[in-house]
Chain A
Amino acid sequence: MLDPRLRAVAIVNAVVLVAGGLSLGQVRYENRHKGDDSSSLNTLPGDTDGSQQPGASPSTGPSGQPLPGATTGPNGKPLPGSSGAPGTITGPGGATPPPVTVTTDIPDFGLRTQGVTKDSVLIGADYDKGSCPQAQTLAGQFSAQATGDIAKSFSTYVKYINDTGGIRGRTLKLVTVDDGGTYCPEKNGSAAIELVDQYKVLMDIAGLHEVSDLLAKKHLPFLGGRSLISEQRKQGYGQFQPFQDAESDYANWASFGRNYLHSNTRKPCLIHPDTPDFNNLEKYLVRALSDQGYKFKMIVKYKDDPSTATQQATQSAIAMKPNCDQVWLIANNAIADVFFTDAAKTQNWYPTWTWTARTYLIDTQTGGALMQPDEWKNSVGLTTRIKAGASPYEGNCANIYKKYNGDDGMSTSASAQIACATILLSSAAMRRAVDVTGELTGNSLMLGVNAIRGDFFWDATVPVTFSVPGLKGPFDFTGFDLQTVAKWNGNRLDYDFPEYPTYWKIMGPGKSGGVNITHALQKKYTPPQK
């Protein structure tokens, strides 16, 4: 007979073994239920195995890019929507015109096709859900209080799309995954694996370029990602976003400086955070200024840490005061801008402040309202905003949100705005892809994207255009051209648009996307002939 205690040990071992096996089996069952299969087991971020799609054209590079200078797709045929013809204006709430199906050949950009059935389309979105273990921060834990409930917002606009016809008869489905935020590479990687290999989505609404970089390696289309064309081109096709590319933006800004602010006869200086991303962007702005025949007198890089940036604001103001009469701002939040303009005031210094769409928060009314009226009075910049009340679609996002959720106070939250913009944009691109090509694949999606660039979609603040990697490739897109001049009006705490009539004449309903107003701004400086 076994000793009773030894028997107990054996029983415990057996129970643990069985329980462990059952648990693992359950996990495996759930994974299979989610669509996992063994072919995806060997895929990690950066893996090349399994990510190259069958049928990729041999004439394209590893990432499916066409040869520079090509004006047609990789298959040599003209691209639908690539002629620069205006895209259609979406109706209120993003409803599109009746579908006109034009079946056409689809170039092979080497993008994945997955997530589409005859009844549904599955897309993904990644954002920080707060699961990343970080002892020193509460990032993500309280984000809902600060920015609104992003999950609820996404769900709201997906419902809206499905209530307005879905994706040409298919139900739109959205799966969200936790990307852990900027400082969590583990979750960045697992988010990419889940989206591509586990859930097999058609495309992702990328919250971080750390995630979209990995998606690009796996040839999955995504909304968001890198801002520089040079970086996008490295990644190949598949990226589209509602913001202009940085190079074109800076080319506009440099030209704006020369032709509007007359920076070439003044003393312009630049302030930006001392981070790898912003240091990289600085090079492109300096190059754009050089193309216009002038340069910054001084460049100040401040620490991207609020507790020390505040001190540096005063030091910067003192250093710049004798050398600069124009200050160019690049920042990804308004905090530093407030500190810098305020510090300048303490030094009795009131330069001209200028910015462009890259300085996101001060490009909005909220951001502008944070500035002190007397110190912000000399501000003038380039913006993608439309004059308040001018668009027929103003308030769309908030109205849609309220329709589904009532007035819970979050209809204008950042979460609602982001979800509205990304879901409506993605859906519009997918719908147009079906219209133009008759089918919905990773490759056709890019044609849909190309077809809707320049359209208006949400809340009247930003007309949408898209950056695509092939600057000289199949898409004839040559940069963002839809900007106007904005000056802060300290009396009524909102922006004035001194160039607005011209802008709206070109950009108004029915006129979007086709005309370029930047011919006046993008003039390059030509030195006089000796």
Chain B
Amino acid sequence: MDLLALGLVLGMSTALLAVGLVLVHMSSRVINFAQGEIGAFAVAMMITMTARAHWPYWPALAVTLLATAVLGAVIERTIIQRLFDAPRLIALLATVGIAQIVLLLRLLLPKPERGGASVLFQGATTFPLPFHSGQFTFGRVVFGPQHILVLIGGPILAFATAAFLTRSTYGLAVRAAAENAPRARLMGIPVRRVSTLAWVVAALLAGGAFMLLAPINGYSSADAIGLPLLLRGLAAATLAGFGSVGLAFGWGLGIGLLDSLIFYYTKQANLSDAVVLGVVLVALLIRREARRRTTAGEESSWRLAEPVRALPSEITAHPRWRALVFGVSGLGAAAVLAAPLMLSPARTYLLATIFGTSIVVLALTILTGWSGQVSLGHWGIAGVAGIFGSRLVGHWGMSFWLAFLVVAVLGGLTALLIGLPALRLPGTLLAVVTLGFAVVSESWLYDKSWFKGDGSLVRPEWVGNRTYYYLAAGVLLACVLSARALQRGRLGRNLVAIRDNPAQAAAFGIAVVRTRLTGFVLSGVLAAIGGFVWAGCVVTVSPNSFPATRSLTILAAAIIGGLGSIFGALLGTAYLAISLFVPEDAARYVGLTSTGLGLLILICFFPGGLARLAMLGRNALATWVTGVAATPRVTPVEATEAMSALTGDELVEAVLTAQAAPTAAGSHP
């Protein structure tokens, strides 16, 4: 019982994090990667007020909560509102950037000093408490005032949030907007203002939760809130369907409790990651959930606002345009072929690694761009291929080429294993499960003696630098051609149909789950191929080579490039790789563009991604070269198809948008 009580106290962090994630998801339909950072900001602010400015507890708490609420409002008004109509994936990526901004703010806050130096981290006992009495021993555990504070304050925060959502007018508005934003707007609910309010409440919740737990957990101002903690909150929110604060709180406590017990009895931290993921997978497998309107709307929101369209046939058949395309393509091919002869060995090597990365980004494009599913762990599948490939070659003496084929199959099987529970159900489950897979792979799987190799993926002796470069380029080309064939084939069309309107696709006889799963498996095969090509290039492979965080970078490349476009996948990878090729003096600053912060700025101004920008440039060039208007014309047949792809809610949204269009900006409720 004593351990259960302690588990409940420590699990409160997961529970309250999950509640905050659900709240933001309700209002903005986005997974908020900044939730933990906002909470950590509140802790930093509180420490500044009490340990640096020496304010008493309660005034410091009031100012801290006020600052945290303002922070939530500012984030929502300046960034989330700007992306209100953007695809949710863009908003998700934006929260990664927001997390970094908040982290920077946290670092900039004045720190308490000890011995003339700033104290960047503190143990639990240095955090202020409103009272200091009430210590008691229960079994093996000494419960102090900080534990009592959590046991009282945690449920109060959760119940207050639930009461806000169920009892208050604004809470009802949040729920209404979450259930169906267009209809809520028709009912006169100021959806955007409600979104701001939800972010403020979520920020206060995060701040309150982190301040409650800081006297137990201690505090570090220099470290970001890591993915493992976020994963636990996301798991709880997912199991609650992102729809119920109470359920999220309960699942959060349960996961926290399980986490505590596993660590207590095994003394191995990383094992608990694997068990938590296993529990989520099993829970999803045995769960039966009816499709709700909310999740249907949410699914459709993952797709891009505007796809990259092909040019009209009048242009593509035009001799001048064909000459230009032929010339540029030839130049590009010549550049790829000549690069190893002209570039330094280091840059040739880097290019080869980028080819491998591009294949993984391409795999994600197939999954997310065409199938409408989100993976936050594709680099994890690539890692399975790289690490296990090194075992096949180094430990078992398998041929490099045979290992290439084996890991491709393994990538597909891995995707099947992950996707089977998650793809049966609607919503963002796959995102959470894949993130969990990436975290568990890095912390647990890659280091298992039965899985890992001897730390390097050794190529055949005759495959030197230049040879491998050409091989990697060839594999990338083959993958691109395969993806194009897939896109134009039946499976590709079915995937897009399901992405656009699952219900209608099912009505046409498409097996939704099976098609999605097939898409994910194919994506997993490609990711594994990319991971193996990449590992064969860098040669030295370890768990550090495949960190879970890089999956977010891969997703960023796909989004920045322009989801759904093969060319966009290559473009996005190239964008993130720019910093590898600029002079080192400038690399630090150019590298900023590939961080979440840089990406945030980019997507705020170009939410359509680089492929969209490239498309506009291409259209202008095509018009200039051929004299034919390049704006893709929508034929009546296409318009009918487009209309039929819309859900009822989206039709309402379209009507509202059309009504609002002639009026001045700002007329939105």
Contacts and interface: CB of A to CB of B under 8 A. Distances in A.
The range of chain B's interface size is: 35 or more
A315 B263 contact: yes
A314 B538 contact: no
B216 A346 contact: yes
Interface in B350-400: 350, 353-354
A300 B271 CA distance: 12
Interface in A1-52: 3, 5-6, 8-10, 12-13, 16-17, 20, 24-25, 27-28, 31, 34, 36, 40-49
B345 A136 contact: no
A131 B345 contact: no
Contacts of B637: none
A309 B456 CA distance: 30
A275 B550 CA distance: 18
Nearest to A319: B264
Contacts of A194: 344, 346
Contacts of B584: 129, 131, 176-178
A121 B269 CA distance: 48
Interface string A275-319: 110010000000000000000001111110111111111111011
Given A138-B595, A314-B6, A5 B121 contact: no
Contacts of A25: 342
Contact of B580 (A131, A346, A370): A131
Interface in A155-208: 176-178, 182-183, 185-191, 193-194, 197-198
B229 A12 contact: no
B260 A41 contact: no
Nearest to B14: A311
Interface stretch (A83-91, A335-343, A425-433, A501-509): A335-343
A345 interface: yes
B246 interface: no
Residue with the highest number of chain B CB atoms closer than 10 Å, among A9, A46, A274: A9
Contacts of A28: 342-343
Contacts of B144: 346
B146 interface: yes
B556 interface: yes
A204 B580 CA distance: 21
The binding surface of chain A is classed by DSSP as helix
Contacts of B527: none
B579 A132 contact: yes
Contact of B544 (A49, A136, A210): A210
Contacts of B202: none
B345 A342 contact: no
Contacts of A193: 345-346, 349
Given A3-B320, A311-B10, A315-B264, A131 B549 contact: no
A18 B575 CA distance: 24
Given A9-B327, A42-B465, A130-B587, A189 B540 contact: yes
A481 B304 CA distance: 64
A301 B270 contact: yes
Contacts of A308: 226, 228-229, 269
B10 A315 contact: yes
A15 to B, nearest CB: 11
Interface in A188-237: 188-191, 193-194, 197-198, 210, 213-214
Contacts of B458: 46
A311 B461 contact: no
Interface in B126-165: 126, 140-142, 144, 146
Contacts of B140: 318, 321-322
A9 B625 contact: yes
B344 A198 contact: yes
B331 A13 contact: yes
B450 to A, nearest CB: 14
A59 interface: no
23 contacts: A5-B320, A9-B320, A10-B323, A45-B349, A49-B464, A131-B582, A134-B594, A135-B553, A138-B103, A138-B595, A141-B595, A183-B544, A185-B538, A190-B350, A198-B345, A214-B540, A303-B228, A307-B225, A314-B124, A315-B260, A335-B223, A345-B123, A348-B142
Interface of B: 3, 6, 10, 13, 36, 93, 96, 100, 103-104, 107, 114-115, 117, 119, 121-126, 140-142, 144, 146, 216-220, 222-229, 260, 263-264, 267-270, 273, 319-320, 323-324, 327-328, 331, 335, 338-340, 342-350, 353-354, 443, 446-447, 455-456, 458-459, 461, 464-468, 537-545, 547, 549-550, 552-553, 555-556, 576-577, 579-580, 582, 584, 587-588, 590-592, 594-597, 599, 624-627
